[in-house]
Structure 1
Amino acid sequence: MSPTMLPAAPPAPPLRWRRSFPGGLEEARNVRRFVGCLLTGCPFLDDVLLAADELVVNALRHTKSGQVGGAFTVEIVQDAGRVAVSVADQGGPGEPAALEAGELAESGRGLRTISLTAASWGWHGNGEGRTVTAVFAAERAA
C-alpha cells in the first residue's frame, strides 16, 4: 500500500486538565502558574491567563468559594486551536454578568474584558454552584 492510500489519522483527542484549589485570594497566583505551565507556547496565553485570573477572583469575591473552608476548581481544555478555561465555584447570590463599569469604578471590568477578548464565554449553575467558562481561539468568533 502506498503512503497516499493510507487512511487519514483520526483527530487527536482534546487535552484536559483539572485541579482544585482552596478558597484563598493567594491561590490566584497558583492558578496562573498552573495554566501558564500547561499552555506554554499558546499564541493567546496572555488572554487565557487574564481570564483565569478574573474568573478565580470573581469566584473568591462573589461566591461561597471565598469563605472559610471554600474551594474552587479550574479546568483547561485544549483542542484544535482552541483553549477553554473554566472555574467552578460553590455558588453565590448573584449571576455572572459582563457589565460596563463606571469610569472611576475600582472593580467590575473582569467579565466585560473577557467578553471582549474571548471567542465566547458563558456560565451555568445556580446558588449552590456554578461554572464560568471562557473560550479562546486563534480565530475569534464574529
Structure 2
Amino acid sequence: MFPAIPVFPAAPDAQRWRRPFPGTPDQAAAARRFTTLLLPGCPVLDDILLTVDELVVNALRHTGSGRPGGIFTVEIARWGGSVAVAVTDEGAPSEPAVADAGDDAESGRGLRTVSLLATGWGWFGNDRSRTVAALFTPNAVSLCEAA
C-alpha cells in the first residue's frame, strides 16, 4: 500500500477521497465510476473523467502497477471550487512527459490531453512509487463545489 502523503493543499474546507484499485485494465472503468460518484453535477466532469482515465491507463501501461499483483490509488480532492485528481502507481524508471505523437500514432497523447484539459499537472516520485496529479481551478469548476 502507498503512504498517505497529501498531494493537494491542506485547505480547511477540503474534501478528500482516496481509493486503491487492483492493477488490471478493467479497473480504469472502476476509477471513472468512483470519480463520477464524488463529483455529481460538475460541469467539467467529462474532462476530469478523461484525465483520470489517462492517468490510470498510463499507470497500467508504463509502471509496476500494471504487472500481476500491482495496484494503483486514485485520490480526488475538492476545495474552494477547485478539483484535483491524482493517481499513485508503483513507479517506473522513466519520467512522465508530454509527448508529440504522430498523426497515425495509436498512443502517446495521454499527458498532452491532460495538459490541455487541466489548469496544470505535475508529478513526483521514483521507480518505486510515483504520483501524477492534475488540477482544475475555480474558473473551470466553480459549480463543482459541494452543495
TM-score between both structures, scaled by the size of structure 2 = 0.85
Letter in 1 for 2:36: G
Indicate the RMSD between aligned Cα atoms, in angstroms. 1.2
Alignment partners' CA distance in 2, 1:110 and 1:138: 23
Report the counterpart of residue 104 of structure 1 in structure 2.
104
Number of equivalent positions: 130
Does the 8 Å contact 2:51/2:114 carry over to 1?
yes
Structure number with greater CO (CA < 8 Å, separation at least 6) is 2
Unmatched segments (≥5 aa) in structure 2: 1-10, 141-147
Alignment partners' CA distance in 1, 2:12 and 2:88: 26
1:57-96 superposed matches below 5 A? 57-96=57-96
Shift of 1:12: 5.6
Letter in 2 for 1:31: A
Does the 8 Å contact 2:82/2:138 carry over to 1?
yes
The question of 1:118 aligning with 2:115 is answered no
Report the counterpart of residue 47 of structure 1 in structure 2.
47
Shift of 1:93: 2.1
Sequence identity, in percent?
A: 58
Letter in 2 for 1:17: W
Alignment partners' CA distance in 2, 1:94 and 1:48: 25
Q: Which has the larger radius of gyration?
A: 1
Alignment partners' CA distance in 2, 1:62 and 1:103: 22
Unmatched segments (≥5 aa) in structure 1: 1-10
Report the counterpart of residue 16 of structure 2 in structure 1.
16
Regions of 4+ moved over 3 Å: none
* C-alpha distance after superposition, 1:78-107 (max 9, x if no partner): 011110000000001211001111110000
The question of 1:38 aligning with 2:38 is answered yes
Does the 8 Å contact 2:81/2:138 carry over to 1?
yes
Does the 8 Å contact 2:52/2:85 carry over to 1?
yes
Alignment partners' CA distance in 2, 1:14 and 1:42: 16
The secondary structure found in structure 1 opposite 2:139 is: coil
TM-score between both structures, scaled by the size of structure 1 = 0.88
